[in-house]
Amino acid sequence: MPSHMHFREADLLRIRFAISPLWETQEAVRTLKRPERHGYHLPWLRRIRQAAAGLDLSALWLLMPQRGHTPDFLGPPPVGPAASFEEEIAAVRSVDPEEARRGLQWSLACTPGAADTPQGRALLADPALAVQELADAMTQVWHALVEPEWPRLRALLEADVAFHTRRLAQVGLEGLFAGIDPRLRWADGTLTLATPSDHVRDLDGQGLMLMPSVLCWPDVVTGFEPPWQPTVVYPARGIGALWTEQPGQATGTLARLLGDRRAAVLLALDEPAGTTALAQLLGLAPSSVSAHLSVLRDAGLLTSRRYGHQVLYERTPLGIALAGHQP
């Protein structure tokens, strides 16, 4: 049963990308309960095992059925292209209690008997309180499990957005959707996704948000209902190398030409990344990485552009050629 999103002319002008730390936090909770996802993230799961054991995730898990609806207000489309976790969780806390009640009822109905458990009854009895308690739980998950890894995650998500933005310019909208995920199909003004549930949405001029996610892999997620922004969440590119250790020291001609650390910065830029992410990846001070990036850019080996609050660096053709000849 596919999901259909019907576009009007105005919707074609309002397609945009966004990154959401809140969404990754929700998916971190879900991933802990989904063994089929564990193989993609074993190094992270090993690192956070003790921290996760100290969290009470039972209410969140109750609202994350294996098949069915999770309340949209728990992981809504972000308020901006590069919103902070604090901005996003504030939006969760401000959700209308009646909207929250509808989402809770729908979600609990997906698991037989969930609404009749003590926890389910408590959520429905006072949805305003439930929203605050769920937001508190998500905040604890963010600080314990996701925030320490966020520079690494954000770098990969930003690289995905940069890749697909370039691809849109090269192949157009139909090629963009096909390249994001083979389960997405564009035809006659309608974007269709093969899903287990039936969902139809007229975008009605709101446009579509495209949001890469690391921890949702391998799922593509849509089905956001009004009043939420129509959104497609898709697996980000490159998670195979996400949890690998930092690159080794550069050797050979490139290191002699640029110096070990400057060469390491150039080699680390397989995908666009910002200063903070590179500093964490390479184990260097951000100020040191910033200085190396400036020199490499001035030498014509890198280019930079602003994305939200971040400046992303990527190799120029000359930088690609030099990195490709690293012995």
How many helices, marked H, and strands, marked E, lie in the chain?
Answer: 15, 9
Q: DSSP H helical segments within the chain, as ranges? A: 9-12, 21-32, 35-38, 42-53, 58-62, 85-93, 97-109, 118-125, 127-141, 150-180, 252-258, 260-268, 275-282, 286-298, 317-324
Lowest mean pLDDT among 73-77, 114-118, 274-278: 274-278
User: Which pLDDT value is given to residue 125?
Assistant: 97
Question: Is the pLDDT at 248 greater than 60, yes or no?
Answer: no
- The answer to whether the peptide bond before residue 71 is cis (omega within 30 degrees of 0) is no
User: Among 77-86, 91-100, 288-297, which stretch is predicted with the lowest mean pLDDT?
Assistant: 77-86
- As a whole number, mean pLDDT of residues 52-81 equals 92
Confidence band, pLDDT 50/70/90 cuts, at residue 271: confident
pLDDT at 122: 97
Percent of the chain with pLDDT over 90: 52
d(CA 237, CA 213): 9
The pTM of this model reads 0.78
Mean pLDDT of the chain: 88
Q: What is the pLDDT of residue 308?
A: 64
pLDDT at 116: 95
Give the Cα separation of 40 and 245 in Å (integer).
Answer: 15
pLDDT, residue 1, reads 63
pLDDT in tens, 147-199: 999 988 887 888 888 888 888 888 888 889 888 988 899 999 999 988 777 78
Helix axes 42-53, 21-32, angle to 10 degrees: 80
pLDDT band at residue 40 under the 50/70/90 scheme: confident
Q: What is the phi-psi region of residue 115: left when phi exceeds 0, alpha when psi lies from -120 to 50, beta otherwise?
A: alpha
Tell the residue number behind the tokens 């139809």, with chain if given: 200
Residue 316 has pLDDT above 70, yes or no: yes
Residue 251 has pLDDT above 80, yes or no: no
292: left (phi over 0), alpha (psi -120 to 50) or beta: alpha
Torsion sign over Cα 15, 16, 17, 21: negative
User: Tens digits of per-residue pLDDT, 205-239?
Assistant: 999 999 999 999 888 988 788 888 999 999 998 77
Residue 241: per-residue pLDDT: 66
Instruction: Please say whether the structural domain 245-324 has been given the CATH code 3.20.20.80.
Output: no
Domain segments of the chain as ranges: 2-239, 245-324
pLDDT band at 22 (very low <50, low <70, confident <90, very high): very high
Q: In the predicted model, what is the mean pLDDT of residues 307-318?
A: 78
